[in-house]
């Protein structure tokens, strides 16, 4: 049911159409970005639509998106919007924790994101990519999204859980992770506890993952050995009352990071490559930069930071195809923006995918143009919250630097070793998954630039 809207305020226009009970669920499920773009074209910056009896208020303008992202948790709650994550991350963890506790939990992760650790992750990721392409031979074809998924699962495993991941855990972990991913769907969004087959599999996988991790955590605690991974950081963290974190919390926080960062990174790495390979004009300077920067320095953190052309291409992929196309909040206290008021109980949405195509922010927004981020244009800096592929405000992504570094490392190893060309025409986004990647197939043909005996890791990692 629509909540009555306050007569003092300008009513928020509602999108017509939709089915009884379902509202606009079918269009939303097929292509949420077109639905929101259509609403914006028809009604302007702010409008509402119905989803299974809930009113979703969309803020697509510059000021509206900023107001939503900056709003405190007591007014607009991410926690109440992302209940579907609770059976995956666990009870009392991340979005199931009160906001102050979630802040504490995320701050425990910060030491794992310091520069000296980032340098090590860069090395691990370069080694994983080199390992992955070991069986490629001198030429062939691969699907880019599958490739990026495989590389980022192994890289995430290595950086989160450590060297053991590659040797003993990988295949069991991957199967359980797959069942957990099955628990992210529209039914789970509104009724996370509903006993569908996918949700039962999800719950079993969560229990088994804790069992799988328990001996590893016990071994680490017993040995007292320090390691360069997120698990080490969590094992050595203390809660606010000075206690060790228990196994369930450690596993839950690792799952939070894995879910937040793995598929999103795979998708952004894929878009980065597809868009770049489509544009030889931009690929050539990226290759030149590889030679200039990495040939002399190796793949150090400092060198990776100098890959600014590649970085602009990642940014442009983030702008054109943000992996998270919508960000949602539940309204806990009436939310006011300009003349509009959204009553408590409804939802608000900000869409990076739609905001990033706003011509008031980005010139000729449908054109692939990484140079829009270069001095003097810097289109992302002229407006607050112009680029929101990693969110903004209080809930801005903590893994942005990690994700950018990971994608830089992956593409640096690949581009130094192979030349690529597209096999398939690049297709549009595939909205069947929560993190939106390109529709498959998205195959590329590769051929080796260097002798197959000279490994990329040896050439690149200092």
Residues lying near ligand HEM in the complex (CB under 6 A) are found at: 78, 106, 256-257, 260-261, 264-265, 268, 323-324, 327, 389-391, 395, 397-399, 402-403
Question: What stretches of 327-386 adopt beta strand conformation (E)?
Answer: 327-331, 335-337, 340-342, 347-350
Report the distance separating Cα 413 and Cα 404, nearest Å.
14
| Closer CB to ligand HEM, 160 or 456, in the complex | 160
Nearer to ligand HEM, 61 or 392 (CB): 392
- Exposed/middle/buried for residue 269 (C-beta within 10 Å: 0-12, 13-18, 19+): buried
Residue 81 or 133: which CB sits closer to ligand HEM?
Answer: 81
Rounded least distance, CB 256 to ligand HEM, Å: 6
R_g of the chain, CA atoms, integer Å = 22
- Least Cβ distance, residue 107 to ligand HEM (angstroms): 10
Closest residue to bound ligand HEM by CB: 399
Strands 54-59 and 347-350: parallel
d(CA 12, CA 341): 8
By C-alpha distance, which of 273, 268, 264, 291 is closest to 445?
273
| Burial bucket for residue 335 (CB in 10 Å: 0-12, 13-18, 19+) | buried
Give 18 or 32: the residue with its C-beta nearer to ligand HEM.
32
Nearer CB in complex with ligand HEM: 14/155: 155
- Minimum separation from the CB atom of position 292 to ligand HEM (A): 26
Residue 58 Cβ, how far from ligand HEM at the closest point, in Å? 14
In what side-by-side order are the strands of the sheet with 54-59? 46-51, 54-59, 347-350, 327-331, 76-77
Residue whose CB is less far from ligand HEM, 181 or 256: 256
Tell me how far, at minimum, the Cβ of 457 lies from ligand HEM, in Å: 21
Least distance (Å) from ligand HEM to the CB of residue 398? 5
How far apart CA 75 and CA 332 sit, in angstroms, is: 5
């Amino acid at each position: 049911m629509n909540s009555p809207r306050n007569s003092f305020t300008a009513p928020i226009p509602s999108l017509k159409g939709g089915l009884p009970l379902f509202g606009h669920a079918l269009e939303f499920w097929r292509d949420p970005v077109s639905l929101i773009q259509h609403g914006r074209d028809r009604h302007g910056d702010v409008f509402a639509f119905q989803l299974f009896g809930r009113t979703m208020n969309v803020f697509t303008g510059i000021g509206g998106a900023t107001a939503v992202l900056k709003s405190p948790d007591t007014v607009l709650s991410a926690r109440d919007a992302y209940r579907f994550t609770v059976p995956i991350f666990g009870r009392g963890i991340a979005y199931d924790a009160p906001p102050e506790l979630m802040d504490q939990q995320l701050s425990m992760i910060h030491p794992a994101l310091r520069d000296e650790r980032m340098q090590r992750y860069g090395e691990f990721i370069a080694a994983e990519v080199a390992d992955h392409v070991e069986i490629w031979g001198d030429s062939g074809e691969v699907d880019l999204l599958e490739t990026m998924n495989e590389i980022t699962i192994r890289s995430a495993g290595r950086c989160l859980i450590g060297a053991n991941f590659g040797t003993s855990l990988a295949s069991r972990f991957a199967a359980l992770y797959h069942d957990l991913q099955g628990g992210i769907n529209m039914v789970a969004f509104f009724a996370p506890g509903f006993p569908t087959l996918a949700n039962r599999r999800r719950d079993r996988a969560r229990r088994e993952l804790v069992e799988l991790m328990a001996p590893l955590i016990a071994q680490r605690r017993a040995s007292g050995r320090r390691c360069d991974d997120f698990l080490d950081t969590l094992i050595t963290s203390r809660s606010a009352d000075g206690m060790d974190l228990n196994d369930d919390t450690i596993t839950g926080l690792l799952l939070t990071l894995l879910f937040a960062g793995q598929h999103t990174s795979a998708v952004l790495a894929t878009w980065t490559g597809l868009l770049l390979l489509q544009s030889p004009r931009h690929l050539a300077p990226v290759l030149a930069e590889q030679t200039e920067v990495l040939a002399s320095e190796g793949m150090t953190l400092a060198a990776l930071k100098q890959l600014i052309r590649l970085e602009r291409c990642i940014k442009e992929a983030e702008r054109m195809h943000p992996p998270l196309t919508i960000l949602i909040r539940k309204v806990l206290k009436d939310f006011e923006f300009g003349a509009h008021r959204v009553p408590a109980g409804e939802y608000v949405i900000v869409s990076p995918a739609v905001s990033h195509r706003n011509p008031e922010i980005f010139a000729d927004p449908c054109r692939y143009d990484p140079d829009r981020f270069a001095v003097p244009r810097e289109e992302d800096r002229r407006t607050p919250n112009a680029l929101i592929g990693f969110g903004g405000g209080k809930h801005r992504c903590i893994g942005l630097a990690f994700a950018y570094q990971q994608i830089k490392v992956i593409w640096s190893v690949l581009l130094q070793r192979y030349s690529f060309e597209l096999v398939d025409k690049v297709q549009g986004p595939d909205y069947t998954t929560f993190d939106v990647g390109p529709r498959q197939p998205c195959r590329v043909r590769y051929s080796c630039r260097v002798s197959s005996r000279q490994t990329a890791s040896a050439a690149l990692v200092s």
